[in-house]
Amino acid sequence: MPVKILMPALSPTMTEGNLVRWLKLEGDTVKAGQVLAEIETDKATMEVEAVDEGTLVKIVVAAGTENVKVNSLIAVLLEEGEDASSIDALVSAAGENSTSPQQTAAPTPDLTIVTAVAAQSGGAATASGDRLFASPLARRLADQHNVDLKLVAGSGPHGRIVKTDVEAAAIAPKKSAAATQGVVYGEAGYADLPLNNMRKVIARRLTESKQQVPHFYLNIDCELDALLKLRTEVNQRLEAGKLSVNDFIVRACALALIKVPEANVAWMDTVIRQFEAADISVAVAIDGGLVTPVVRSANLKSLKDISGEVKVLAERARASKLAPEDYQGGSFTISNLGMYGIKQFSAIINPPQACILAVGAGEQRAVVKDGEIKVANVMSCTLSADHRAVDGAVGARFLVAFKELIEDPLSLLV
């Protein structure tokens, strides 16, 4: 019988996706494990692999189609020797049911399940749906010089981007942000920018959070002088992989959650789920939105391990190469805007998590010590908590534990 290929759910929040392009054509032979198509989700552009093998006899959803519902029919395979006469009826039935409430239900056992893997570094998908080919050296140079490879014309074989192309782009005059993003302003002086899937999901989830989650906020100031001194000493001994202040913050949050486990929770409507490990979601700004890759069991990892993992996850996020397991879950989120000079802010909780810590910039401030005014590097942090799961006293105890760890950084090395 014909094998249905369905639009997969590639993340817990995904209800629809954009079918960027097909890598197989009608009539092509498909083997298990081969990439069929590229799909843009709310988190990344993913490659979809086939589980079954056969002939791709019908593409139901064309390349470039947006807002394709999860579990809707996108293509049909026929196994060897099968009759194609039933294909039209199958496609017609799928079209009639496309708006049915059962559309997002789990697929029945006889349907082929397609799996997804992050797009490999050999060729990321561009906005136009074409593959972007660049040598490994060109990619490294582009990262070092902040060159967007999508804007570079390749001079190598078959249009491949090579070292000289990136070097030329690095010294070329920079275009304005609007020109780089292809924004064209109309006569009225504005442009309406389309929403990608990520922005749609962010808008929906954060609106629901702010409307439905009873937020309360607690603020605390932490002195950083001892931490900055220790960080400098440690980095002088490291040949590579220098530690950032944010690495210390991730480690301090994880240990504080273990000390105050009542804050390491999620609101599950009928129960409060308390976690054994501190899985820290770290907010990363990317083009078009925000993602929160997770450092698993951060309480069990060294500062060096946390630093390396955060760097890798951030690189994957900015390259749209996060796998679902990289960002699913998490028991607590950190949003750090200190690198932008933001002194203090309040963040919106990412349900079902119950807490998010907003971290501001460290700066020199006048503080009173033993009756005298002195200068110290101080960082303001604001905890947003879900009052259904975390009470004020619990949030306060967490911040006190966090402050003690930040101000006694040697405890973070143990």
Q: What is the DSSP letter of 353?
A: B
| pLDDT tens digit sequence for 200-234 | 888 999 999 999 999 999 999 999 999 999 999 99
The two most distant CA atoms of the chain are separated, in Å, by 90
Nearest-10 Cα torsion for 344, 348, 350, 354:
80
Sign of CA dihedral 142, 146, 148, 151: negative
CATH code at 3-118: 2.40.50.100
Which residue in the block uniquely carries the two structure tokens 């026929």?
78
User: Average pLDDT over the chain, rounded to whole?
Assistant: 83
Same fold: 3-118 with 133-174:
no
Q: What is the pLDDT of residues 137-171, one digit of tens each?
A: 777 778 777 788 877 877 765 567 877 788 778 77
- CATH number of the 133-174 domain: 4.10.320.10
CB 77 within 8 A of CB 50: yes
User: CA gyration radius for the chain?
Assistant: 25
Strand partners, 273: 266
Q: Which residues are identified as catalytic?
A: 387
Task: Return the pLDDT at 214.
Answer: 98
DSSP class of 407: H
Q: Tokens 């209800």 — which residue? A: 15
Which pTM value belongs to this model?
Answer: 0.66
Strand 45-49 relative to strand 332-336, pairing: unpaired
**Helix %, strand %, coil % of the chain (to 5):** 35, 30, 40
Listed in sequence order, the DSSP H helices in 134-196 are: 136-145, 163-171, 177-180
Q: What percent of the chain has pLDDT over 70?
A: 82
Locate the domains of the chain by residue range. 3-118, 133-174, 198-412
The CATH superfamily assigned to 198-412 is Chloramphenicol acetyltransferase-like domain (3.30.559.10)
pLDDT tens for each residue of 80-97: 766 666 676 666 666 655
